[in-house]
Amino acid sequence: MALLQISEPGMSAAPHQHKLAIGIDLGTTNSLVATVFSGMSKVLQDEHGHALLPSVVRYLPSGEVVVGHEAQAQQSADPVNTVVSVKRFMGRSLKDIADRAHIPYHFVDSADTTKHLQIQTRAGLRTPIEISAEILKTLKARAEKSLGGELTGAVITVPAYFDDAQRQATKDAARLAGLNVLRLLNEPTAAAVAYGLDNAAEGTFVIYDLGGGTFDVSILKLTKGVFEVLATNGDSALGGDDFDHRIYCWVLDEIRTKVRESHGHFNPLNEQDTRLLLTKSRQAKEWLTDNHEAQITCRLSDGSFVDVTLTATQFLELTQHLVTKTLSPTLKAMRDANLGIEDIKGVVLVGGATRMPQVRHAVEDYFQQTPLTNLDPDKVVALGAAIQANALVGNRSEEDLLLLDVTPLSLGLETMGGLVEKIIPRNSTLPVARAQDFTTYKDGQTAMSIQVLQGERELVADCRSLARFELRGIPPMAAGAARIRVTFQVDADGLLSVSAREQTSGIEANVVVKPSYGLTEDEITQMLKSSFGSAETDKKSRMLAEARVSAGAIIQSVKLALAADSNLISDVEKLAIEAEILKLEAIAKTEDAAAINKAVDSLNHATEAFAAARMNASVSRALAGKNLDEVNL
């Protein structure tokens, strides 16, 4: 369905009032830029008619930087200075890149843990943010040339399962490229916008997005222009590059076998040969989309000739585990949305890697229906981003297009006993703000340390720390009397800020979470796996921690009371209470939550008479020297 911008006579905006906005799909393999013309979104092409811009950046000896097809053509000849698939390094440190054997770059880890890794090029050290900015600058220039004016802003898409660090890195790259970022938009949501509006679709749809470096699956409910994300899942370290790598490894095995058969010695590949074989592997993968076999031929730098044939059947066997790997997040997203296969109206395929026959067959078998492919899977994300950008700058009413995205992981803070109190649960609709009141643990406490956490487990040790800050200047009060309200806010881009405010004094502290670039997809996946597989263990751990906190609080309270008013009870009663304290202190060191709670009850019972005596004494002191009329007043 075309989007027509129709106005009442005399009510249409003047041509010069139309603001120029673009949508950018910053992809692992290719990137695109799109805009809205006369109500219809369209991908912009370069002067040669290319819509896709290869996400490849090359640093030349002259100091010039080239991006796209020209850089891609030299990636095998100059692999060290030609960076491909930089998106996989966004928001990452060196320790997060487990398998670097086939990556021909010279990495340098930053001494500052809050900074990106760096890549050594002839132009000097470059971070993934700087390299991505070069791609975005090229797309920005293409848009300005095509549209003939200055851009108002851009919507940039990111994988739904990008964590805070990866999102922040993307936003930083856009700012470095001189773009005004209107919003970071999840790729599956952008695809749903393009598909839903173009097809007047309504119902519940699955967006299966397998790109060059990332996999996302989102379940959305489309209703009259409202796009509500019900659940999301994925793997930000799984994509078409991994299929290329499997072919590359197979080619290496074939070369080694032939060398052994000829009684020769296999020499390790240099950087040029590694990049050459990876490029040939990608070309073979693409050829097998429509053909039964692919010939891989090239000459290596030592003069040896590679000539092997990969069949479609062999390719399927090599990569079946990668296809299966996409179905696990899909199943989890379906469970989170509480939906069955019969509830899904359609499955939209997004990303160039979904062109592989084995991927399409797997999706069709799982959902028992033919996937929807009437929109180009390479372009659909950029088209949706352009539609959202057009709405955000006011060229069309935002009321006609409402996006309700979600958080991928729960957010919370640390409480006494090393427990995690979840403030915003995963799959909460964005933007979201939630607050919860906390109090002090000790008498006279004037400061509180707040640790912000991300994850699904019950204990701090099992979750990821995002930030720490302190609230100071709390008025000295009795333990439990202060009221500190902690507010979590996640904006439409999925970025978090946290504030804490003491209610009586108005003292406040806050932090915009700028996480270290070290949260790996494996850690995210493991967080979710652990939360499902360790629910019973976590429950017991939480009960034990809560019992110990309760025990500590009553022990401290009773000790302070004895120090102040032990004269109100007999020595025998005092000894009995002290014996119960010692008993509780010993039991609190055990792993038996039920026994600790029982000992707490026993101490409570032992101090009932003492508590009554203290109450009577307090009342007597309050009434001392006052007549009946004064009391009534």
CA distances from 261 to 97, 256, 266 (A): 34, 9, 11
Dihedral sign (CA 168, 174, 177, 179): negative
Strand residue runs (E) in 322-401: 346-350
Q: Contact at 8 Å (CB) between 559 and 581?
A: yes
Residue in the block written with tokens 């009946």: 628
Catalytic residue among 209, 405, 414, 456: 209
Q: Is 356 exposed, middle or buried (0-12, 13-18, 19+ CB in 10 A)?
A: buried
Residue 99, Cβ density class (10 Å: 0-12 exposed, 13-18 middle, ≥19 buried): exposed
Give the distance, in angstroms, between the CA of residue 32 and the centroid of all CA atoms in the same chain.
Answer: 22
Q: In what order do the strands lie in the sheet with 508-512?
A: 432-438, 484-490, 496-502, 508-512
DSSP lists the bridge partners of residue 320 as none
Contact status, residue 128 vs residue 89, Cβ threshold 8 Å: yes
CA-CA-CA-CA torsion for 139, 142, 147, 149, nearest 10 degrees?
Answer: 80
Cα-based distances in Å from 426 to 107, 128, 237, 456, 532: 34, 28, 20, 8, 14
Looking at 78, 96, 130, 187, which residue is catalytic? 187
Cβ neighbours of residue 341 closer than 8 Å, sequence gap 6 or more: 334, 366, 367, 368
Nearest to 82 by CA among 110, 122, 48: 122
- Report which DSSP code applies to 372: B
Catalytic residue list contains 399: no
Return the structure tokens found at 508: 């406040």
Helix (H) or strand (E) holding 622: helix 608-623
The CA distance from 394 to 446, in Å, is 48
Q: Both tokens of residue 322? A: 């990668």
- 87 a catalytic residue: yes
Q: At what angle do helices 608-623 and 571-587 cross, to 10 degrees?
A: 120
| Nearest Cα to Cα of residue 22 among 11, 31, 12 | 31
Query: One of 78, 87, 285, 580 is an active-site residue; which one?
Result: 87
Does residue 431 have a cis peptide bond before it, meaning omega lies within 30 degrees of 0? yes
Count of alpha carbons within 13 angstroms of residue 351, beta-carbon side: 29
> At 547, phi and psi to the nearest 5?
-65, -40
Q: Is 187 among the catalytic positions?
A: yes
Three-class DSSP category at 46: coil
Element (H, E) at 280: helix 271-287
Would you call 209 a catalytic residue per the annotation? yes
The DSSP secondary structure of 135-162, one letter per residue, reads HHHHHHHHHHHHHTS---EEEEEE-TT-
d(CA 400, CA 12): 17
Q: Which residues are catalytic?
A: 25, 87, 187, 209
